[in-house]
Amino acid sequence: MAISKKRIYEILEKTEKKDVIGKIVDWFIIILIFLNVGAVIVNSFTYASIKYRLILLALERFSIVVFTVEYLLRIWTSAYKYPDSRHPVIRYIFSLMAIIDLAAIIPFYLPFVVNLDLRYLRVLRLFRLLRVLKLNRYNNSLAMIGRVLKNEKEKMFMTLFIITVLLLLASSTMYYFENAVQPEYFPNIPATLWWAVATLTTVGYGDVYPITIQGKILSGIIAILGIGLVALPSGIISSGFINEVSKNGKKTICPHCGKEIDAASD
């Protein structure tokens, strides 16, 4: 008996507990993702990558087939995901999860289309690690991170903008203070930006540091400002998580219709 398009959509999307086939497919994809991440790690060991080459190659090709079929089926059933959209296929293709799905498989097909240098091909293979982001569909915690970043994006943008401006001002000022006495360490403003980042984040690698009085004073000011400024994004994200957890805690399930309702509205 042929499986309907709607049934395929129900299986691919996050399924209900009673849907045994859907749960099997979910766990199959999850296990396959972890196996792929493990394969990338194993490939970093020269001896292991040679000894288990055939196994790793077979896993890679099998995974590409599975993930490609999954990607195409999700495009095919996108009308059920976006029932109100006039162009559900286009909307799905440009969605974040679809882009992640495509990025996870495209490095395998690129060498068949474009002649690539082996060095670039090795870099493209790192994109296989993006497959771990596919777990976002099967894990509420990962989905919560996305919601928090979306809700707090304006605050995060303003904070990062302020930090960027401070980095540019600090690196420009330090360049004029130190360039004359340390031209090899402070040759230009972009190179001085490395010192600004290391100082503002209070990492302090010690590979580049000022020796003039005014440079040392500026370095101390930037280090003190960094303690507060770098902590701001962490505070914003933490606050966002608290708000998100509070919202989820207020939701309950209606015993009649089975839908989520806001307990605060009762």
The angle formed by the CA atoms of residues 251, 145 and 31, to the nearest 5 degrees, is: 100
Structure tokens at 241: 């998580």
Residues 57 and 50: their CA atoms lie apart, in Å, by: 11
Predicted local confidence at residue 221, as pLDDT: 92
Band (pLDDT 50/70/90 cuts) for residue 138 is low
Per-residue pLDDT at 7 exceeds 60: yes
Beta carbons within 8 Å of 263's beta carbon, 6+ residues apart: 250, 251, 252
The residue behind tokens 């919560």 is 144
Structure tokens at 31: 């296990």
Per-residue pLDDT at 226 exceeds 80: yes
Per-residue pLDDT at 246 exceeds 50: yes
Of the two residues 115 and 102, the one the predictor is more confident about is 102
* pLDDT tens string 67-113: 999 999 999 999 998 888 889 999 999 988 888 888 888 878 877 77
Average pLDDT of 225-232? 83
Residues 189 and 170: their CA atoms lie apart, in Å, by: 10
> What predicted TM-score, i.e. pTM, was given to this entire model?
0.62
Beta carbons within 8 Å of 64's beta carbon, 6+ residues apart: 105, 108
Per-residue pLDDT at 229 exceeds 50: yes
DSSP state of 1: -
Predicted local confidence at residue 213, as pLDDT: 94
**Listed residue (140, 159, 155) closest to 240, CA to CA:** 155
Domains of the chain by start residue, with CATH: 5-138 (1.20.120.350), 139-266 (1.10.287.70)
Averaged pLDDT of the chain: 81
Question: Which residue intervals of the chain are DSSP H helices?
Answer: 5-12, 20-43, 46-51, 53-76, 78-81, 88-93, 96-113, 118-125, 140-151, 153-178, 189-200, 213-229, 231-250
Band (pLDDT 50/70/90 cuts) for residue 127 is low
What's the N-to-C CA distance of the chain in angstroms?
Answer: 46
Residues 136 and 126: their CA atoms lie apart, in Å, by: 19
Q: Kind and range of the H or E element at 128?
A: none
DSSP string computed for 214-266: HHHHHHHHHHHHHHHHTHHHHHHHHHHHHHHHHHHHHEEE-TTT--EEEGGG-
* pLDDT tens string 169-187: 999 999 999 999 999 999 9
